[in-house]
Copies of this chain bind each other. A is one copy, B any other.
Amino acid sequence: MAVVMSTLCCCGNKQTNQYDNMCEKLPMSDDGIVRLSKIKVNPDYLDEYMKYAMEVGTVSLQTEPGVLTMYAVADKEDPSNITILETYANQEAYKQHIASDHFQKYKQGTLHMVDSLILDDVTPLNPKNKLINYIE
């Protein structure tokens, strides 16, 4: 299975992850999305927010073929500043993601915890610079 993942993902076809907990992934399309989501969390809810964010990130990566990256980090100086590198294979994959039960559980469950949300769509500088994102 590892061969399939590494061979196919790099030539733009579906990749199959070696982990049983990861679904097959779609190739990146011309209408794909690369985004930095910047979230300012109310510090009073930070621990609770982290649980929601970890769950939605894990389930999305493991189960959604069109969610190619969902990599969330917290600033060391102020962990209430969260940044998520999100990559969707195409527009339809993004629509399916935000309509999913796990995303809606996160979105509705954390509305009162989020002070601000900025969605920065971005362009990779080097089209040949590639990421594979998975849950170990």
Complex Cα distance A50/B5, Å? 31
Chain B min CB distance to A86 (Å): 11
Chain A interface residue number, banded: 35 or more
Report chain B residues within 8 Å CB of A74.
122-123, 125
CA distance A130 to B62 in the complex (A): 12
A58 near B126 with CB under 8 A, answer yes
**B residues near A136, Cβ cutoff 8 Å:** 10, 128-130
Q: Does A113 contact B (CB under 8 A)?
A: no
Which residues A12-46 have CB closer than 8 A to chain B?
18-19, 34, 36
Q: How far is the CA of A56 from the CA of B10 in the complex (A)?
A: 22
Which residues of B are found within 8 Å of A76, using beta-carbon distances?
A: 120-123
Which residues of A are at the interface with B, using a C-beta cutoff of 8 A?
2-3, 5-7, 10, 18-19, 34, 36, 50, 53-54, 57-58, 61, 69-77, 79, 82-83, 85, 120-126, 128-136
A6-B6, A58-B126, A73-B125 known, 5 other contacts, Cβ within 8 Å? A57-B125, A71-B129, A73-B124, A75-B120, A75-B122
